[in-house]
Amino acid sequence: MTRQRRVALVTGANKGIGFEVVRQLRREGFRVFLGARDEKGGRAAADKLNKEAEKDSDLVTRHTSLVTFLKIDIANNESIKRAAEEFSKQSDHLDALVNNAGILLDDDKDILTTTPETFEITLRTNTLGALLVSQAFVPFLKKSDAPRIVNVSSSGGQLTDGADGWAPAYCISKTALNGVTSQLAAALPKIAVNSVCPGWVRTDMGGANATRSVAEGASGIVWLAADAPQQETGKFWRDRKVIPW
Ligand SMILES: NC(=O)c1ccc[n+]([C@@H]2O[C@H](COP(=O)([O-])OP(=O)(O)OC[C@H]3O[C@@H](n4cnc5c(N)ncnc54)[C@H](OP(=O)(O)O)[C@@H]3O)[C@@H](O)[C@H]2O)c1
Protein backbone atom coordinates (compact mmCIF):
# COMPACT_ATOMS: atom_id res chain seq x y z
CA MET A 1 0.00 0.00 0.00
CA THR A 2 1.44 3.41 -0.89
CA ARG A 3 1.48 5.97 1.89
CA GLN A 4 -0.75 8.93 1.04
CA ARG A 5 1.06 12.17 0.25
CA ARG A 6 1.51 14.41 3.27
CA VAL A 7 -0.58 17.57 3.29
CA ALA A 8 0.17 20.82 5.15
CA LEU A 9 -1.62 24.12 5.70
CA VAL A 10 0.36 27.24 6.60
CA THR A 11 -1.51 30.43 7.56
CA GLY A 12 -0.19 33.91 6.76
CA ALA A 13 1.99 32.47 4.01
CA ASN A 14 1.86 35.13 1.29
CA LYS A 15 5.15 36.54 2.64
CA GLY A 16 7.76 36.35 5.37
CA ILE A 17 8.38 33.23 7.42
CA GLY A 18 5.12 31.57 6.34
CA PHE A 19 6.03 31.79 2.65
CA GLU A 20 9.40 30.19 3.36
CA VAL A 21 7.79 27.43 5.46
CA VAL A 22 5.58 26.58 2.46
CA ARG A 23 8.66 26.51 0.20
CA GLN A 24 10.56 24.17 2.53
CA LEU A 25 7.59 21.84 3.13
CA ARG A 26 7.00 21.59 -0.61
CA ARG A 27 10.62 20.61 -1.09
CA GLU A 28 10.07 17.88 1.52
CA GLY A 29 7.35 16.49 -0.78
CA PHE A 30 4.25 17.88 0.93
CA ARG A 31 1.21 19.13 -0.89
CA VAL A 32 0.93 22.55 0.77
CA PHE A 33 -2.08 24.82 1.16
CA LEU A 34 -0.76 28.39 1.26
CA GLY A 35 -3.14 30.31 3.50
CA ALA A 36 -3.52 34.06 3.04
CA ARG A 37 -6.25 36.60 3.69
CA ASP A 38 -5.45 38.59 0.54
CA GLU A 39 -6.48 36.70 -2.58
CA LYS A 40 -4.19 38.49 -5.03
CA GLY A 41 -1.08 38.22 -2.85
CA GLY A 42 -1.87 34.63 -1.88
CA ARG A 43 -2.35 33.45 -5.47
CA ALA A 44 0.80 35.25 -6.60
CA ALA A 45 2.80 33.58 -3.81
CA ALA A 46 1.45 30.11 -4.68
CA ASP A 47 2.17 30.69 -8.40
CA LYS A 48 5.73 31.71 -7.59
CA LEU A 49 6.37 28.53 -5.59
CA ASN A 50 4.76 26.30 -8.23
CA LYS A 51 7.01 27.87 -10.87
CA GLU A 52 9.99 27.14 -8.64
CA ALA A 53 8.82 23.51 -8.40
CA GLU A 54 8.84 23.16 -12.19
CA LYS A 55 12.60 23.78 -12.07
CA ASP A 56 13.18 21.23 -9.30
CA SER A 57 16.01 18.85 -10.01
CA ASP A 58 14.31 16.21 -7.83
CA LEU A 59 11.89 14.52 -10.21
CA VAL A 60 9.69 13.14 -7.45
CA THR A 61 8.98 16.50 -5.78
CA ARG A 62 8.77 18.23 -9.18
CA HIS A 63 5.89 15.98 -10.19
CA THR A 64 4.08 15.36 -6.93
CA SER A 65 4.35 18.45 -4.80
CA LEU A 66 1.96 21.26 -5.32
CA VAL A 67 1.16 24.57 -3.66
CA THR A 68 -2.52 25.55 -3.50
CA PHE A 69 -3.76 28.95 -2.39
CA LEU A 70 -6.42 28.88 0.37
CA LYS A 71 -8.14 32.11 1.33
CA ILE A 72 -8.22 32.39 5.12
CA ASP A 73 -8.46 35.40 7.43
CA ILE A 74 -7.66 34.01 10.85
CA ALA A 75 -9.25 36.99 12.63
CA ASN A 76 -12.63 36.12 11.10
CA ASN A 77 -14.35 32.87 12.13
CA GLU A 78 -16.62 32.83 9.05
CA SER A 79 -13.55 33.03 6.83
CA ILE A 80 -11.95 30.15 8.78
CA LYS A 81 -15.08 28.00 8.34
CA ARG A 82 -15.23 28.79 4.62
CA ALA A 83 -11.57 27.83 4.31
CA ALA A 84 -12.21 24.48 6.03
CA GLU A 85 -15.14 23.87 3.67
CA GLU A 86 -13.00 24.69 0.62
CA PHE A 87 -10.17 22.50 1.98
CA SER A 88 -12.58 19.55 2.36
CA LYS A 89 -13.26 19.68 -1.40
CA GLN A 90 -9.57 19.26 -2.14
CA SER A 91 -8.21 16.97 0.58
CA ASP A 92 -9.62 14.43 3.00
CA HIS A 93 -6.76 14.71 5.48
CA LEU A 94 -4.23 17.15 6.91
CA ASP A 95 -0.87 16.12 8.36
CA ALA A 96 0.56 19.46 9.48
CA LEU A 97 -1.18 22.68 10.45
CA VAL A 98 1.22 25.61 10.89
CA ASN A 99 -0.45 28.51 12.67
CA ASN A 100 1.99 31.14 11.45
CA ALA A 101 -0.11 34.25 10.71
CA GLY A 102 0.44 37.01 13.23
CA ILE A 103 0.51 40.75 13.78
CA LEU A 104 2.75 43.07 15.77
CA LEU A 105 1.13 46.48 16.26
CA ASP A 106 2.60 47.78 19.51
CA ASP A 107 6.37 47.50 19.33
CA ASP A 108 6.62 51.23 20.13
CA LYS A 109 4.17 51.10 23.07
CA ASP A 110 4.38 50.19 26.73
CA ILE A 111 1.74 48.39 28.78
CA LEU A 112 0.39 51.69 30.17
CA THR A 113 -0.38 53.14 26.73
CA THR A 114 -1.54 50.05 24.84
CA THR A 115 -5.11 50.77 23.64
CA PRO A 116 -8.02 48.34 24.05
CA GLU A 117 -8.34 48.21 20.25
CA THR A 118 -4.71 47.17 19.80
CA PHE A 119 -4.91 44.65 22.61
CA GLU A 120 -8.13 43.12 21.29
CA ILE A 121 -7.12 42.73 17.62
CA THR A 122 -3.69 41.41 18.63
CA LEU A 123 -5.12 38.67 20.84
CA ARG A 124 -7.95 37.96 18.39
CA THR A 125 -5.41 37.35 15.63
CA ASN A 126 -2.39 35.83 17.33
CA THR A 127 -4.16 33.77 19.99
CA LEU A 128 -7.84 33.20 19.22
CA GLY A 129 -7.11 32.96 15.49
CA ALA A 130 -4.73 30.04 15.99
CA LEU A 131 -7.24 28.30 18.28
CA LEU A 132 -10.17 28.71 15.87
CA VAL A 133 -8.12 27.50 12.89
CA SER A 134 -7.04 24.47 14.95
CA GLN A 135 -10.66 23.70 15.91
CA ALA A 136 -11.79 23.95 12.28
CA PHE A 137 -9.02 21.69 10.93
CA VAL A 138 -8.82 19.05 13.71
CA PRO A 139 -11.30 16.78 11.85
CA PHE A 140 -8.82 16.59 8.92
CA LEU A 141 -5.82 16.18 11.24
CA LYS A 142 -7.56 13.22 12.89
CA LYS A 143 -7.42 11.44 9.52
CA SER A 144 -3.61 11.65 9.40
CA ASP A 145 -1.23 8.90 10.56
CA ALA A 146 1.05 11.43 12.23
CA PRO A 147 -0.79 14.72 12.74
CA ARG A 148 0.93 17.88 13.97
CA ILE A 149 -0.03 21.42 14.93
CA VAL A 150 2.78 23.97 15.08
CA ASN A 151 2.01 27.32 16.67
CA VAL A 152 4.50 30.00 15.68
CA SER A 153 5.11 31.85 18.92
CA SER A 154 7.87 34.13 20.15
CA SER A 155 10.41 34.25 22.94
CA GLY A 156 8.72 37.61 23.68
CA GLY A 157 5.91 35.51 25.20
CA GLN A 158 8.17 33.67 27.65
CA LEU A 159 7.34 34.32 31.32
CA THR A 160 10.55 32.80 32.66
CA ASP A 161 12.93 35.66 33.60
CA GLY A 162 10.09 38.21 33.29
CA ALA A 163 9.11 40.67 30.57
CA ASP A 164 11.40 43.42 29.28
CA GLY A 165 8.56 45.82 28.49
CA TRP A 166 8.69 45.57 24.68
CA ALA A 167 5.42 45.18 22.68
CA PRO A 168 3.16 44.13 25.57
CA ALA A 169 0.03 43.20 23.59
CA TYR A 170 2.09 41.14 21.13
CA CYS A 171 4.05 39.41 23.91
CA ILE A 172 0.92 38.67 25.94
CA SER A 173 -0.74 37.24 22.81
CA LYS A 174 2.19 34.84 22.41
CA THR A 175 2.14 33.89 26.12
CA ALA A 176 -1.54 33.06 25.65
CA LEU A 177 -0.79 31.22 22.40
CA ASN A 178 1.58 29.02 24.38
CA GLY A 179 -1.35 28.36 26.73
CA VAL A 180 -3.41 27.32 23.68
CA THR A 181 -0.60 24.92 22.70
CA SER A 182 -0.55 23.33 26.14
CA GLN A 183 -4.35 22.99 26.29
CA LEU A 184 -4.62 21.54 22.76
CA ALA A 185 -1.84 19.06 23.53
CA ALA A 186 -3.83 17.86 26.55
CA ALA A 187 -7.08 17.65 24.58
CA LEU A 188 -5.57 15.93 21.53
CA PRO A 189 -3.22 13.14 22.70
CA LYS A 190 -2.87 11.71 19.19
CA ILE A 191 -1.79 15.05 17.69
CA ALA A 192 1.65 16.54 18.33
CA VAL A 193 0.96 20.16 19.31
CA ASN A 194 3.93 22.46 19.88
CA SER A 195 4.92 26.12 20.05
CA VAL A 196 8.07 27.34 18.34
CA CYS A 197 10.07 30.56 18.32
CA PRO A 198 11.75 31.21 14.95
CA GLY A 199 14.31 33.64 16.41
CA TRP A 200 14.65 37.23 15.21
CA VAL A 201 14.02 37.04 11.47
CA ARG A 202 14.41 39.57 8.62
CA THR A 203 10.77 40.05 7.50
CA ASP A 204 8.36 42.99 7.43
CA MET A 205 7.70 42.21 11.10
CA GLY A 206 11.27 41.49 12.20
CA GLY A 207 12.85 44.36 10.23
CA ALA A 208 16.05 44.61 8.25
CA ASN A 209 18.36 44.44 11.27
CA ALA A 210 17.15 41.02 12.44
CA THR A 211 19.84 38.41 12.84
CA ARG A 212 18.27 35.51 10.90
CA SER A 213 17.26 34.89 7.29
CA VAL A 214 13.76 33.56 6.57
CA ALA A 215 15.33 30.21 5.68
CA GLU A 216 16.93 30.02 9.15
CA GLY A 217 13.71 31.17 10.83
CA ALA A 218 11.57 28.64 8.95
CA SER A 219 13.85 25.69 9.58
CA GLY A 220 12.77 24.89 13.18
CA ILE A 221 9.11 25.30 12.23
CA VAL A 222 9.46 22.89 9.30
CA TRP A 223 11.28 20.38 11.50
CA LEU A 224 8.36 20.34 13.96
CA ALA A 225 5.82 20.12 11.13
CA ALA A 226 7.58 17.33 9.24
CA ASP A 227 10.40 15.56 11.04
CA ALA A 228 10.38 15.93 14.84
CA PRO A 229 9.61 12.77 16.83
CA GLN A 230 5.82 12.35 16.85
CA GLN A 231 5.72 11.81 20.63
CA GLU A 232 7.06 15.33 21.30
CA THR A 233 4.03 17.41 22.25
CA GLY A 234 2.96 20.25 24.53
CA LYS A 235 6.38 21.93 24.43
CA PHE A 236 8.00 25.22 23.42
CA TRP A 237 10.96 24.98 21.00
CA ARG A 238 13.68 27.04 19.39
CA ASP A 239 16.40 25.61 17.14
CA ARG A 240 15.08 22.06 17.73
CA LYS A 241 15.59 22.38 21.50
CA VAL A 242 12.97 22.79 24.21
CA ILE A 243 12.95 26.25 25.82
CA PRO A 244 11.14 27.42 28.99
CA TRP A 245 7.59 28.80 28.78
N1 LIG B 1 10.07 38.06 12.29
C2 LIG B 1 10.44 37.77 13.53
O3 LIG B 1 11.53 38.18 13.99
C4 LIG B 1 9.56 36.91 14.41
C5 LIG B 1 10.04 36.57 15.69
C6 LIG B 1 9.26 35.76 16.50
C7 LIG B 1 8.04 35.30 16.05
N8 LIG B 1 7.60 35.65 14.81
C9 LIG B 1 6.28 35.14 14.38
O10 LIG B 1 6.40 34.52 13.12
C11 LIG B 1 5.15 34.62 12.41
C12 LIG B 1 5.40 35.17 11.02
O13 LIG B 1 5.99 36.46 11.15
P14 LIG B 1 6.75 37.22 9.98
O15 LIG B 1 7.97 37.78 10.57
O16 LIG B 1 6.81 36.39 8.77
O17 LIG B 1 5.73 38.45 9.78
P18 LIG B 1 5.21 39.18 8.47
O19 LIG B 1 6.24 39.21 7.42
O20 LIG B 1 4.61 40.45 8.96
O21 LIG B 1 4.05 38.20 7.95
C22 LIG B 1 2.90 37.99 8.73
C23 LIG B 1 1.92 37.18 7.93
O24 LIG B 1 0.73 37.00 8.71
C25 LIG B 1 -0.38 37.38 7.92
N26 LIG B 1 -1.54 37.79 8.69
C27 LIG B 1 -1.65 38.76 9.62
N28 LIG B 1 -2.91 38.83 10.07
C29 LIG B 1 -3.62 37.88 9.41
C30 LIG B 1 -4.96 37.46 9.41
N31 LIG B 1 -5.88 38.05 10.19
N32 LIG B 1 -5.34 36.44 8.61
C33 LIG B 1 -4.43 35.83 7.81
N34 LIG B 1 -3.14 36.20 7.73
C35 LIG B 1 -2.75 37.22 8.52
C36 LIG B 1 0.14 38.50 7.03
O37 LIG B 1 -0.74 38.72 5.95
P38 LIG B 1 -0.88 40.18 5.23
O39 LIG B 1 0.26 40.27 4.24
O40 LIG B 1 -2.23 40.09 4.58
O41 LIG B 1 -0.80 41.21 6.31
C42 LIG B 1 1.48 37.90 6.63
O43 LIG B 1 1.31 36.94 5.61
C44 LIG B 1 4.26 35.50 13.28
O45 LIG B 1 3.38 34.70 14.05
C46 LIG B 1 5.24 36.22 14.18
O47 LIG B 1 4.66 36.63 15.40
C48 LIG B 1 8.31 36.44 13.98
Ligand 1 within 6 A of 14 CB?
Answer: yes
Q: Is 170 a catalytic residue?
A: yes
Ligand 1 within 6 A of 75 CB?
Answer: yes
Ligand 1 atom, smallest distance to 125 CA: 31
Contact predicate 35/12, CB 8 Å: yes
CA distance 166 to 178: 18
User: Could you tell me where the DSSP H helices lie in the chain?
Assistant: 16-27, 39-54, 59-64, 77-90, 116-123, 130-141, 168-187, 214-222
pTM > 0.75: yes or no:
yes
Ligand 1 within 6 A of 220 CB?
Answer: no
Which residue's CA lies nearest to atom 44 of ligand 1? Answer: 102
- Output the CA 117–ligand 1 centroid distance in Å: 19
Which of the residues 30, 140, 170, 237 is marked catalytic? 170
Sheet holding 241-242, edge to edge: 66-71, 31-36, 7-10, 96-99, 148-152, 192-196, 236-238, 241-242
Q: pLDDT tens digits, the chain, 245 residues: what are they? A: 345 799 999 999 999 999 999 999 999 999 999 999 999 999 999 999 999 998 876 655 555 669 999 999 999 999 999 999 999 999 999 999 999 999 999 988 899 999 999 999 999 999 999 999 999 999 999 999 999 999 999 999 999 999 999 999 999 999 999 999 999 999 999 999 999 999 999 999 999 999 999 999 999 999 999 999 999 999 999 999 999 99
Helices 214-222, 16-27: crossing angle, 10 deg rounding: 60
Ligand 1 within 6 A of 46 CB?
Answer: no
Contact predicate 101/131, CB 8 Å: no
- Contacts of 59 by beta carbon, 8 Å cutoff, 6+ apart: none
Cα–Cα nearest to 56, from 28, 76, 84: 28
Which residue's CA lies nearest to atom 17 of ligand 1? Answer: 205
H or E stretch at 213: none
